[in-house]
Amino acid sequence: MPRQQLHLDPSSPTIIVPITARDATELDQSAVAAAAALDAGAVEWRVDLYQPFTAGGGTDPAPAVSALERVAELVPDIPILATFRTTAEGGSADIPPESYLALIDALAATGLAAAVDVEYRHPVAERAIAAAHTHGTSVVASNHDFDGTPAVEEIMVRLEAMESAGADVAKIAVMPRSAADVVTLLDATERRHRLSRVPLITMSMGALGAVTRIGGGVFGSAATFATVGAASAPGQLPASDVRGVLDLLHHGAHE
């Protein structure tokens, strides 16, 4: 089964729909729903939520590989981003660093994921990025700040560090405490977009930051996460609603 590529362009942001299944039954249901959603340009499978993998402590990647094969079977025409989100970055599980590396390597080796997520501050991030690239799989480097919104310069430094580490896409999500924080995120995105050689995905989380999930492309963010079912982060909006707004913003801009 050929891998579907992840094409990201801020002039037409990709809608990424999360698959947040806890077991095989939910996995099938979520994947089928995502496949039926015309608004999904890609899916993100959250491995850290999948209990057949995490229940074993995450030391054996086989259950995750089998689940990825199932997702690829159910969404054959949609690119898959495979993500294990640690608790330090707002996820639901933790596994030993060497197991994290083995998981990234095993998922990338299947050739079924368009990209794998690697937390750029993870202890084995450099090795995980290299392992994914060995298999020809792209890497979305990520960082999540649930405590607040860093200064513009700090956001830019983090995005630049991801690119320097070899990421194919640089992603950051921050938590706004005020409208000014939302402006900070958008300002940093626009500034970094002018310099970056890789696509960016940026967002402010929660209700206050919702505008960044629909208007981020104007500032250089090439994708947004939206729901068909359960959300995987605070502030995600329904994919069908997001599609309507993106069509208005971006199609109108080209007329």
Residues tagged active-site: 144, 171
How long, in residues, is the chain?
A: 255
Amino acid symbol at 12: S
Please, what is the Cα angle at 87 between 5 and 180, to 5 degrees? 80
Strand ranges inside 68-179, DSSP E? 80-83, 115-119, 138-145, 169-174
User: Per residue in 50-79, is it b (16+ CB within 10 Å) or e — as a string?
Assistant: bbbbbeeebeebebbbebbebbbebbeebb
Find out whether 116 and 125 touch, Cβ atoms under 8 Å. Answer: no
Question: Could you give phi then psi for residue 144, rounded to 5 degrees?
Answer: -130, 125
- Which residues make beta-bridge pairs with 44? 18, 81
Place of tokens 């199932």: 70
